[in-house]
Chains A and B, each alone.
Chain A
Amino acid sequence: MRDWILKVKNLTKIYGDGCPKCLESETNKCSFCKATIAVNSVSFTLYRGEILGIVGESGSGKSTLVRSLYFDITPTFGEVYLNGEERNIFDFNSEEKRRLRNFKMGMVYQNPFLGLNFEITAGGNVAEKLLMANWRNYFNIRRRIKELFEKTEFPLSRIDDFPSTLSGGMLQRVQIAKALANNPEIIFLDEPTSGLDLSVQARLLDLIKKIQHEFKISMILVSHDLGVIRLLADRVLVMKEGRIIESGLTDQILEDPQHPYTQLLVNSML
């Protein structure tokens, strides 16, 4: 059986004061202290080489969950273990966290403004990751950037263009190239294709699948679109109001959903 690469235990994010009754709340708002429980006691395992889908509607906590794993957001409590690291990664100091972010993880945001620096060129955005990993040879850096852009089907002629001149699909390709730069073990994708034209979305998703097959990277793919999940993910977690309400094989979730909310979601597919 495949090895595990990420183990998440009781990950919780509460915005507001919080109180002992928060976790029992049925919705993501605590009726006692009015805090918002964006992520409520989420536990799951990510296996090496798989794509795990997380599906849910707006406010389900799926983005908060994934951004916590990438250290963008500090969780209220919970433990996350990365295979190969001995402690809960939230106990790491900022330097160790940065090391994980640079070398073991990659992230593709829905909004390219979050994932890219618009003041430097497309190639520069990818170079930043390499420079963080102490690459100090300009020619090698350029070569690696070109290699990554070829893999992500980003036109090499635009390597020195600024992000403000690039289309949505191209920006996502730059993000993917950047995420791949240091050969990470895990890539998080937070709605990577939402808002893009259908044909652009299709090509990007095919690219993600191709890359995953080639590099055997473990991925967590967040989407509100079950179609995207069906295309890419082997297993799915369904989130509602901060909790995982169902999890299973993708085909099982789509053909035999158990939870009422999952049935609603599946029935709402176009």
Chain B
Amino acid sequence: MMQDIILEVRNLSKKFNLHLLGGKVITAFQEVSFVLRRGEFLGISGKSGSGKSSLIKCIYRTYLPTEGEIVYYPKNNGVPIDLAKCSDEKVIELRHKSIGYVSQFFYPIPRVSCLEIVSQALIQQGADKDEAKRKAKNMLLRLLIPEKLFDAYPSTFSGGEKQRVNIAQALVKEAELLLLDEPTASLDKTSKAIILEEILKLKERRVSAIGIFHDDEDLKRFADRILVLEDGKIKEVYKNDKNS
């Protein structure tokens, strides 16, 4: 059924044309195609440099795809949108409302408190200021950011704390699609477990997610299916048997 699919990536390629290096072309990945169903969690694995981050960034439109389509199907039979080619305006709208992103490295906006960063994500969706603050506080607490840090600037936080703020702003949003680039990278075992719990909770709302995990264990906990990239191409896609 059409409604089941939330994302369809067709023949997607990304090449960088580095004019400053005399026009050198670097290929991040080529001819990547896959389908993501609603409520499905797709894990992406592969060696460093295999194109994983670039793929996610293309979906989020931080990178402009060179070729191919990224068709997004909004819920309730909304008009399908090709994220690769749609207008910047449309992307901004989707980023506010439907698509969440946890980047690999979090460069927080300077001089903004983590509470503000997280509540901003909700306000952009149209939430009331006080309501947004309340939900933001809740989320930060669940991700083990103590109240005394709410007014502090994330630029002064440790790597792990930064990452948790990063995750908070994506999870609090009630997005339909989550893009996660190494969300558990700087975290200790306990934090990892909590984060994964929170992410898996989203399945209850039929949120779909694509996640990169370099830790195999985390990958296995997270993913329903796993896509393996090697040298910029899909090596294989297989179902993850969580019980093994």
Contacts and interface: CB of A to CB of B under 8 A. Distances in A.
Contact flag (A, B; Cβ within 8 A): yes
Interface of A: 1-2, 45, 47, 50, 202, 206, 213, 231, 234-235, 247-249, 251-252, 255-256, 258-260, 263-264, 267
Given A202-B111, A249-B91, A256 B19 contact: no
A252 B64 CA distance: 7
Nearest to A262: B19
A266 to B, nearest CB: 10
B20 interface: yes
Nearest to A234: B92
Contacts of B63: 252, 255-256
Contacts of A249: 61-62, 88, 91-92
Nearest to A248: B88
A204 to B, nearest CB: 12
Contact of B93 (A1, A256, A258): A1
A202 B93 contact: no
B221 interface: no
B90 interface: yes
A47 B63 CA distance: 22
Interface string B162-200: 000000000000000000000000000000000000000
A71 B113 CA distance: 39
Interface in B83-103: 88-93
B19 A263 contact: yes
A78 to B, nearest CB: 22
A201 to B, nearest CB: 12
Contact of B62 (A231, A255, A263): A255
Contacts of B18: 263
A237 B19 CA distance: 19
Question: When A and B form their complex, which 4 residue pairs have the shortest distance between CB atoms, in order from nearest?
Answer: A260-B19, A256-B63, A251-B62, A249-B88
A259 B20 CA distance: 10
A235 B20 contact: no
A202 B110 CA distance: 9
Contacts of A234: 92
Interface in B113-150: 120, 123
20 contacts: A1-B89, A2-B93, A45-B89, A50-B92, A202-B110, A206-B111, A206-B112, A213-B123, A234-B92, A248-B64, A249-B61, A249-B88, A249-B91, A249-B92, A255-B57, A256-B62, A260-B20, A263-B19, A264-B20, A267-B20
